[in-house]
Structure 1
């Protein structure tokens, strides 16, 4: 028995049921043939992408499978060759995932998380972006709902998470906010636009509490910003160290912390500085494990 967790019915972290418990699959050698079997088994069409490095979040419990090798024609993932149930040399940051063709929208780009990023839609056998002409909170609300990411916090424009490549599939998207899918909203027609990729639309949904941003940032490096009181703000570097950075990296499914730069290494932010003197053990699952106890309770209320 298998399931996808952390996203939608047809995209997410691959989990298998064995020995009365659910566990994950390591991404060693994980490829489209393996994902194809998962998508078929779940009646989710064909495999579009095989995100690695715990793209949809790290699982818990056992890592049941490693070095999975499928031809792509098997009817079940457990029919494929693998190293044996529970036999692996993996870490949580290597949990395998799939995006099947039943999924029509993803979030990606520099600084992105599962619930924040550049909006891309699947059409005519390829992924493409959405132009930000008229892009607003109602449009972003549909994307957040479609991806089970809560409600909308922001609808960034001007390629906030980096410029995409290939087709710009949608322009002048106009949603009421109640649609179940972005492609149900009014738009100018697939591929009909006068845009450039510097106008790629993005969303930040309420399931995101921490992001990395700033000059030179990538999805897993940048200035730390947290969401509080309906706005994003920065974290002061007083006492900021690898333990604190480790929690951020874990929260964003970015592996372990290599450095904890100070002095606005990725550029100075704007607005509120929400946190100071953050002190993590390094084992917390979220920076908010510390915020709730140390800062929000003692400083903000």
Structure 2
């Protein structure tokens, strides 16, 4: 499934940032920043959408939907590191924004700032789900809820797959094909054209207005996340494995990386069979995120995102451990090593 964790950490320009307190959503929560050897919060004095925009961009969580104030996601503890932030919205890191100085503030934790990013507003869950298939759930009014399958069709599924960057929509499922959800049913009678940027922009009856039960929960099957091979020069079927998730390309760690994992990559790229599963950044080190670690593919999956793993972005690696493959489409490389 699209596994979400309440804390997501991104390293940039020496400062770490994370979102805390939203439960299972990794792209909404209380903003915390790591400075001077400790995690601390941000005060909501002047906290607005441009400030939230920088946080969402820094965490690869899409666009900012709301800048939350008054400890909406609960009060933090310890230091309040930043106050009176004045971001333009174009900065690549929160530490690049104007502020009164690290630790200079006149706040208490009842004023802790938070964000809701577009990446937090939809997820796929349920029995048998993968990163790019499952029961559709949306985040609204502080809780996750499902979508009813009345009028649910491929145009609706296209919007979900696009929003999750999971490729093309292959199927729109109904009748709780991925299991019944719990809690609220937030949307019903959706009428998407297929071109909307998010499910919330489609026509519908209004949030919580429905005549459904959870045995009518809607789901999607998307083609998968994008994947590519990089670093082998002019070849197309060998290289460092990179996958596109949450708006950015990232690598795969070589912990447990083996021939069944490589087999899935070669199949997904129509590059024949897997000849070698390469470790230790054989094709050079990537940069940015390391999206997947501890993959456990059987070799029969049609997409790398269908394999078992610890969660998107959950890893204990560095780019010296980037995984690679050599597929049968590039067999001549075996004799050049």
Q: Could you say which TM-score interval applies, normalised by the shorter chain?
A: 0.3 to 0.5
TM-score (norm 1): 0.46
TM-score (norm 2): 0.42
